[in-house]
Structure formats: structure tokens, C-alpha cells
Amino acid sequence: MRQAIEDRIGTSHGTSTMRGSIHAGGPAEHPVPGTRVPAHTTLLHEGDPARRIMEVAEGAVMLTKLLPDGRRQVVELLGPGDMFGLACGDAYACSAETLTASLVVPHERGALERDAALAARLLRRFESQLCTMHAHALALGRMSALERVAFFLLRLMPEPAPGAPRDGSVHIAMTRQEIADFLGLTLETVSRAFSELKRRGLVALLRADEVRIRDRGSMQRLAGAA
């Protein structure tokens, strides 16, 4: 099994196992506030003993679960402020992998009793992550492939700040396979949905991983903005 780098986070320097080519610079520079981790690095493994709760300070992390036969579900996409490393019992419930170069801050579980501010922050964040999971469950359980992909793209590009710069394009730091595992589809179906959204003029595909939303209203209608 691939080695997670959990043990090296927050201690000294962090080397890492990576997928494909090496993206980011060298090992961690900041010993205390957190650890810099390159893209495509496994941070922890489902089933390993749960010791610490981790915070994404910068970057993007995905949480995944596996079925014994290898089917994979990306259960959550995390950004700055989000927490991971949750345990059911004493083992991690999910594996965690960076999507982009990230800064990760570990929190000892024992610190929660002592640090009320951290506990309050964690509470707010858990509430928000729980709401996001509810929306994700609705998408997985009841939306069509096209609707799920619209939902996904809106999630990546939340709102154009009021009166702010017009919709730029988003860089999608995930492969079609990863998006499919997030949405409960196959990569082919995701690809077809992208093409269909493009054909309908709701979206422009600059590159495979560079998307621009052209018709936000229609996208929201597709994604079931209640």
C-alpha cells in the first residue's frame, strides 16, 4: 500500500509519495504553522489509527473511500479552513489526498479541550461541511449526470462577487476520473456531460481543465437551486 505522509506532517520536513510528475518545490519550509505538501500527495489512509485532526490552510484536498473491490468515492472536496482526519471509532474514516500544492496544519485531538477558540472554529466548520455533504447526497441520490456536472462546476465557482470582475475561467485540478468518483459516474459520462453543456452554450471549455461558465442561470436551474 502507498505510504501516507501523516507522520512527517508538522514535525520536520516532508517528503512525499506522488502521482505522475513532481509539481511543487522541495520539502516543508515552515516547521510550526503547518506543512507544505505538493499536489497528488496522500496525506492519510482510511483505516489508519486516527491521531490528529488536520486543517487545510491553503490548497485543495480530496477525501476518498474505497470499497474492497476497488470502487472509489470522493466523499468531500476541501479548501482553506476545512478540516479532515475524522474518525469513526479510532481509525480514519477516509483517505486524504492533495489536489494542488497545499499547506496543512495538524491539531492534536487533546488540544480541543484546552483551546476553546479552536473548538468553536471546528464546530462552525463541521456544520458547514455537514451542510455540504447534505447537498452532495442530494446530487448523488437524485440528480442526472448532466445535473451533477452542473452542480460540480457551480461548486467550484461559487458566486461572482457582487459587482466584481466578470466570471473568469476556473482551473479544475481534477481529472475526469476524479470528478467521476466525486459525482458517482464514470469518466466517459462526465466527459459527455461537459460536451453537452458546451454544446448547449452553458459553458466554455478552454482546455480540458479550464472551464468558464457562460450561463449561470441555466446552470443553477440544472443544479436545482431550490
Cell of 123: 464546530
- Tell me how crowded residue 47 is: count the other CB atoms within 10 A of its CB: 13
User: What is the rounded CA–CA span in Å between residue 176 and residue 15?
Assistant: 27
C-alpha cell recorded at residue 13: 520536513
State the residues that interact with its own copies by CB under 8 A.
46-47, 63, 65-69, 71-73, 75-76, 86-88, 93-94, 112-113, 116, 119-120, 122-123, 126-138, 140-143, 181-184, 224-226
**Binds DNA by CB under 7 A, chosen from 93, 145, 154, 204:** 145
- Give the three-state DSSP class for 195: helix
Q: Is 73 in the site for DNA (CB under 7 A)?
A: no
Which CB atom, from 18 or from 112, has the smaller least distance to its own copies? 112
162 binds, among DNA, its own copies, none (CB under 5 to 8 A by kind): none
Dist CA 201 CA 164 (whole Å): 23
Amino acid at 75: V
Question: 72 or 200, CB closer to its own copies?
Answer: 72
Identify what 76 binds: its own copies, DNA, none; CB under 5 to 8 Å per kind. its own copies
Of DNA, its own copies, none, which one does residue 68 interact with (CB within 5 to 8 Å by kind)? its own copies
List the single partner that 72 binds among its own copies, DNA, none, CB under 5 to 8 Å by kind.
its own copies
* Min dist. Cβ of residue 14 to its own copies (A): 25
Nearest to residue 85, comparing CAs of 186, 206, 4, 198?
A: 4
Considering beta carbons, is residue 41 or 95 the nearer one to its own copies? Answer: 95
CA 88 from chain centre, in angstroms, equals: 20
Task: Kindly state whether residue 139 participates in binding DNA, applying the rule CB under 7 A.
Answer: no
Name the H helices within the chain: 111-114, 116-142, 145-156, 176-183, 187-199, 216-222
Distances (CA, A) of 40 to 49, 96, 140: 22, 10, 25
Nearer to DNA, 66 or 145 (CB): 145
Residue 137 binds which entry of its own copies, DNA, none, CB below 5-8 Å type-dependent? its own copies
- Report CA-CA distances (Å) from 170 to 126, 153, 173, 208: 26, 9, 9, 11
User: What are 156's three cell numbers?
Assistant: 467550484
Site for DNA in 162-201 (CB under 7 A): 175-177, 184-192, 194-195
CB of 145 to DNA, least distance (A): 4
Residues that bind DNA (CB under 7 A): 19-21, 144-146, 175-177, 184-192, 194-195, 205, 207-209
